[in-house]
Structure 1
Amino acid sequence: MQRALVMAGVLGVVISMLAPGGTGAASAAGPPGAVTEVSPLPQVVAVAVADADAALRLVYWSRGPRGPMQSSGAIYLPPGPPPPGGWPIVAYAHGTVGIADHCAFSLQPRRLYLDTVYPELLRAGYAVVLSDYVGLGTPGTHPYLDGPSQARSVIDGVRAARAVVPELSDRWAVLGQSQGGQTALFAARIAPEDAPELRLRGAAATGPPSSLERIAPLLGPWVPRLPLRMTTAYVASILAGLRATAPELDVDGYLTPRGRHVLDVVENECATEADTLVRDISIGELLAKPLGDPALLAAAHAMLRIPTEGHTVPLFIGQGLADLDVPAPLTAGLVAELTPAGADLQVAVYPGDHLATARDSLPDTLAFLHRVLDSP
């Protein structure tokens, strides 16, 4: 019965898109959350969640660094009838997958999430709404680690999901890992003002990259290979996003020929494959000169600096002590800024590395979600 109701809602959205004045024309931007495509998510092993009663794929309008952009995403619904007021939503903000279109999170098998995280959320009685982020699987280049546009992708994904599935509540929380952890913390600060019609109850982030805006002025040809994971691919992805969204910064002018080649690699390969190809190249080998231009540093600051003041919803941060992607001292610095700023903050530390923390923290994140979402 629930699946039939959902499909009826999908049909209604499709009809509205085809009607005069509808949002189906990709050439004309719609308002944030306006749906342009919706269909059942293919029930294949790669993206199926056994515990989901219904699963949909959608494309919707959101907002990039310079204006309207589209994002794709997915919706997974719990089994059984919705509770009074509708299913509470957990918006999942994913970690780094790359910036090439074929790397979109909703198109590739992500076993930890499909087999563990999403089923746990569904069994807890939450609908899962996933955003791929603007430009990842949709027109334009994904502005990697641009926290504001990633947060808006998630917020507008919740808007889009509620337009398609009326059984969804306006009560929601955001959960993210790595790049998604950064996204979750940006969304926590932005959403209450950006989407007052949605009741954001909290944000949980594991391994969120922070303080990177302080590192940017230190980068130049002198930087050696670092004893961390994927640093060259990460930095190249940030620069590739800036090159596409802010051409006036002349990012290519900072790059060596090898650096331009590395940016081409990350624009065409997913994160793991790109790392294999570029991990032996240092950040210094990418750069012909220091990243010293004030305009470029201001752009990096706007996209990378996680807001630490003005948070009005509870926050959870989980960090792995053996994390070589986002070292623990960076997160310790973030916590040290959030705490005196008055954030309602819960912090947990785990012994494992970056991805292990997403798994090890799940009982704590579920307890946090129950605390913030289960009351009307």
Structure 2
Amino acid sequence: MNSPHSNGRSRSVLRRTGAAVALAALAATTVTAGVASADPADPADLAGRSDRGRLVSVQLTGTLDTEQAVAAALTAAKYDAGAVRYGVDSYRVEYRTVDPDGRPITASGLLVLPRGGEHELRTVSFTHGTASYRGDAPSTTAKPGFVTSPALSYASAGFAAVAPDYLGLGTGPGTHPWMDVPSETTASLDMLRAARSFVPRTGRTLGHDVLVTGFSQGASAALGLARALQSGDDRWFRLRALAPVSGGYAFRDAELPALLDGSLEPKSSALYAAYLLVAWNRLHHLYDAPGEVFRAPYDTTIEALFDGSHTGPELFAGTPGTIGELLTPRGLAMLRHPTGRFAQALRVADGTCDWTPHVPVRLYAAEADEQAADANTDHCEAALRSHGADPEVIDLGTPDFAGSRHLGSNVAATADIVRWFSGLE
């Protein structure tokens, strides 16, 4: 495995803190008076409209009314609580967006607002890591903690925190198009628009500045959103800073080779390979029948496991421990030597760093990450530099969350990013 230090660069090292207690769940509540939800979407109306970002409904899902309550929740989730300044209100936002083919669809996401601070709020967009069960998305997760704590961190520091669920997760219909950066980008941008429409109902407004971050799958999504904002895809919002964490920015040249040569954790590698082939077959038609790429008995079960209704434990129980047990020779060859539609789709996914951000950029990564190959960050840094950008690479060392450096990098980076964003004017 390539180390983040393999090219001899000097990198800042972030020190993190955390505690080892369980997160107390936020109690779900109904929408309160004065925070009315929009009318539910009419499918017939959806089919004839292009009103991306329009609110469908908003529900207040939880309140931590004091700084102390937020700090206790973050500490219990093993997140740093040092930047907490306010209590927070959390909302599930449903809104209109488009699917990968540009057709109208709905999506959902989590909006967390501080219970204090400025009238005009700066916005942090946080895009989450891989999930296959729709109930594990930020706005619908049954046990708030790891997934929701970044949004709680940013909101309690005084930002409006926006965390899209992506398509097919949360309350959105259909299946999730995993690692499809174009639809992650449109879902994220339209979530910002929906949030801007709703926030005045709480007596606040959203300013122009958006500080963009995301973890793992969400790191690529963050880069896609940042590029869209800088390109002027929305007339109100403007990109202020960018901080992706532990991304898979180079699937063809970094992630897939590491999955196949055993450099990464075997079970995770099998899961990611399965998710990629199933999700992208739905998008790009990579195979005619599952048996072409998946070995028995998984050829008859694997696609259903990624329908959004199966929990993480069900997914783990239904998949093998290694890629070799999962894939046929053709499936392995497809990953080793991508061609045709698969190669074209990889070029899109791997192009997230091929542009020139005109704002401060930090790329966060852990050493010897067991899920996102270290070379991913090296490739992204090199690509950004080739376009004239000057990203700062932050080496997180060897953070741990539940035995995972990959998950630990999200916790450690959040502590640093919230302070960095807070210090930017």
What's the TM-score bracket when you normalise by the shorter of the two chains? 0.7 to 0.9
Q: Which of residues 214, 224, 235 is equivalent to 2:253?
A: 214
**Residues 361 and 170 of structure 1: CA distance in aligned 2, closer, same or farther (over 3 Å):** same
1:72 to partner: Cα distance: 0.6
Task: Report which of the two has the higher share of helix.
Answer: 1
Aligned position for 2:306? 266
Q: Which of residues 322, 342, 347 is equivalent to 2:393?
A: 347
- Cα pair 1:90 1:126 within 8 Å, conserved: yes
Aligned position for 2:192? 158
- Cα pair 1:93 1:131 within 8 Å, conserved: yes
1:271 to partner: Cα distance: 4.3
2:54 is equivalent to residue 31 of structure 1: no
**Residues 59 and 283 of structure 1: CA distance in aligned 2, closer, same or farther (over 3 Å):** farther
Counterpart of 1:55 in 2: which secondary structure? strand
Q: Distance in 2 between matches of 1:286 and 1:110?
A: 34
Q: 1:68-87 counterparts in 2 under 5 A?
A: 68-80=104-116, 82-83=118-119, 86-87=120-121
2:189 is equivalent to residue 149 of structure 1: no
- Cα pair 2:241 2:360 within 8 Å, conserved: yes
1:170 to partner: Cα distance: 2.6
Q: Distance in 2 between matches of 1:140 and 1:123?
A: 33
- Cα pair 1:147 1:183 within 8 Å, conserved: yes
Counterpart of 2:146 in 1: which secondary structure? helix
Aligned position for 2:265? 228
**Residues 303 and 349 of structure 1: CA distance in aligned 2, closer, same or farther (over 3 Å):** same
Q: 1:173-252 counterparts in 2 under 5 A?
A: 173-193=211-231, 194-214=233-253, 223=260, 227-228=264-265, 230-247=268-285, 250=288, 252=290
1:196 to partner: Cα distance: 3.2
- Cα pair 2:128 2:147 within 8 Å, conserved: no
Q: Distance in 1 between matches of 2:302 and 2:342?
A: 19
Backbone CA RMSD of aligned residues: 3.0
- Cα pair 1:53 1:78 within 8 Å, conserved: yes
Q: Which of residues 129, 150, 157 is equivalent to 1:124?
A: 157
1:8 to partner: Cα distance: 6.9
- Cα pair 1:41 1:74 within 8 Å, conserved: no
- Cα pair 1:316 1:368 within 8 Å, conserved: no
Counterpart of 2:176 in 1: which secondary structure? coil
**Residues 227 and 359 of structure 1: CA distance in aligned 2, closer, same or farther (over 3 Å):** closer
- CA deviation digits over 1:11-30, x for unaligned, max 9? 3x62xx47xxxxx3134144
2:346 is equivalent to residue 300 of structure 1: yes
Q: Distance in 1 between matches of 2:244 and 2:315?
A: 25
Aligned position for 1:57? 92
**Residues 43 and 244 of structure 1: CA distance in aligned 2, closer, same or farther (over 3 Å):** farther
Q: Distance in 2 between matches of 1:190 and 1:310?
A: 12
The letter of the residue matching 1:266 is: F
Q: Which runs of 5+ in 2 are unaligned?
A: 1-30, 74-85, 399-404
Q: Distance in 1 between matches of 2:63 and 2:419?
A: 30
**Residues 142 and 251 of structure 1: CA distance in aligned 2, closer, same or farther (over 3 Å):** farther
Aligned position for 1:21? none
Q: Distance in 2 between matches of 1:272 and 1:176?
A: 24
Q: Distance in 1 between matches of 2:261 and 2:288?
A: 24
Which deviates more, 324-333 or 60-69? 60-69
**Residues 248 and 207 of structure 1: CA distance in aligned 2, closer, same or farther (over 3 Å):** closer
- Cα pair 2:287 2:293 within 8 Å, conserved: no
Counterpart of 1:189 in 2: which secondary structure? helix
- Cα pair 2:385 2:391 within 8 Å, conserved: yes
**Residues 135 and 113 of structure 1: CA distance in aligned 2, closer, same or farther (over 3 Å):** closer
The letter of the residue matching 1:80 is: G
Q: 1:351-366 counterparts in 2 under 5 A?
A: 351-352=397-398, 353-366=405-418
Q: Distance in 1 between matches of 2:422 and 2:383?
A: 26
- Cα pair 1:155 1:187 within 8 Å, conserved: yes
